[in-house]
Amino acid sequence: MSNGFHIEPSTTRMDQGRRSNTLDEKKQALGSSNTFPGANVLNRNRNVSDLPKPPAWHEGAPCASSDPDAFFPSHYGVTQTADAKRICAGCDRREVCLQWALDNREPHGVVGGTTPRERQAMWKQGAA
Q: Which residues are annotated as a binding site?
A: 63, 88, 91, 97
The H-or-E segment that residue 71 falls in is helix 68-71
Binding residues for [4Fe-4S] cluster: 63, 88, 91, 97
Query: Exposed e or buried b for every residue in 35-55, given b needs 16+ CB within 10 A?
Result: beeebbeeeebeeeeeeeeee
Q: Interior CA angle at 103 toward 97 and 105, to 5°?
A: 95
